[in-house]
Structure 1
Amino acid sequence: MTTEPPEPDITTFRTDRTGIRKVLGDLEAEIMELIWARSPEKGVLVRDIFEPLYERRRLAYTTVMSTMTRLAKKRLLRTEKRDAAYVYYPVMSQQAFIESFVGRILEDLYVNFSGETFEHLKTLQSSQHASHMREQLDDILQQRAEEEEEPD
């Protein structure tokens, strides 16, 4: 039995940024991109990330270490102690991370602004896109209703 990775602890969405920087700070995003570009199954040490970052940004080693620790607290990285060092592993692939935060943002929009969302669906050029988005909204609303019915 495989268990789902824990949901990342993402609480910020910046509309003025691009890509994963919409939900992560610049340094956090850069670190995650470096980790995902490596062999994630092997894990990385802070030093492995610090060296390429230092060439570009002249950051302190402790800044990189603190940021990686923060990414672990946000459940984007997991750590294993190996000898005297910590090895960091991504909890999910870059694509899975993107799908996760996009899904959470869409769900939040659908649930909190369902009337406005439905009104916008009427303006979409493609009826196929509108139909697909309505199906997604129905799924989210049904899932929310089921969660509310479950006893604690």
Structure 2
Amino acid sequence: MTMARRAKTKETPELADIGLGELEAAVMQIIWEKNINTVKDVFMELYPKRRLAYTTIMTVMRRLAEKGVLEQDRAAKTYYYKAKVSQEDMAESMINSVVDKVLGNVSADIVIGIIKKHSLTSDELIALERKLGSAK
């Protein structure tokens, strides 16, 4: 498949500046989980649950490309999309953004409270310890 045209997108999105609305997040979830890459495919996946117009999904995906979250390529009359940002990077950025806005400087007590609430497994705690050690 030859890609003829690319949409104007940000080269490297500043993740801290990107917020996703509810529908944008639903579209990205489908793209990340199912590796779907056309508007039609995303529309078919969402329609049974949300009954949205095809053009609504098309607009959301175009705007995600403009934000730099999706890469948009065109072959003939079809646009193909792929994620430019991993689900993990997006989640980390959004969490950090909320924490910064709501809590400012995070104390160790808040982090410990979050860890306790989510009941991490031993393996997850070990991985967290390693990450904390490398972040020093």
TM-score w.r.t. length of structure 2: 0.62
Name structure 2 gaps, 5 residues minimum: 1-10, 116-131
Task: Determine helix, strand or coil for the equivalent of 1:88.
Answer: strand
Partner of 1:64: 57
Greater relative contact order (CA < 8 Å, ≥ 6 in sequence): 2
Contact 1:46 1:68 in 2 (8 A): yes
- Cα distance between partner residues in 2 of 1:125 and 1:101: 16
Partner of 1:38: 34
Residues 59-104 of structure 1 deviation map (CA, whole Å, 9 limit, x = unaligned)? 1100000011111112111101112111011012101111223344
Going from structure 1 to structure 2, the CA distance change for 1:125 and 1:86 (only over 3 Å counts) comes to closer
TM-score w.r.t. length of structure 1: 0.56
Task: Percent identity, please.
Answer: 34
Partner of 2:107: 121
- Cα distance between partner residues in 2 of 1:122 and 1:89: 37
Task: Determine helix, strand or coil for the equivalent of 2:17.
Answer: coil
Name structure 1 gaps, 5 residues minimum: 12-22, 140-152
Partner of 1:6: 13
| 1:136-147 equivalence runs, <5 A | none
Contact 1:9 1:74 in 2 (8 A): no
2:90 is aligned with what amino acid?
A: F
- Cα distance between partner residues in 1 of 2:108 and 2:90: 30
Tell whether 2:76 aligns with 1:83. yes
Following superposition, the deviation at residue 6 of structure 1 comes to 2.8
Whichever of the two has the greater Rg, that structure is 1
The number of equivalent residue pairs is 108
Following superposition, the deviation at residue 38 of structure 1 comes to 1.7
Partner of 1:99: 92
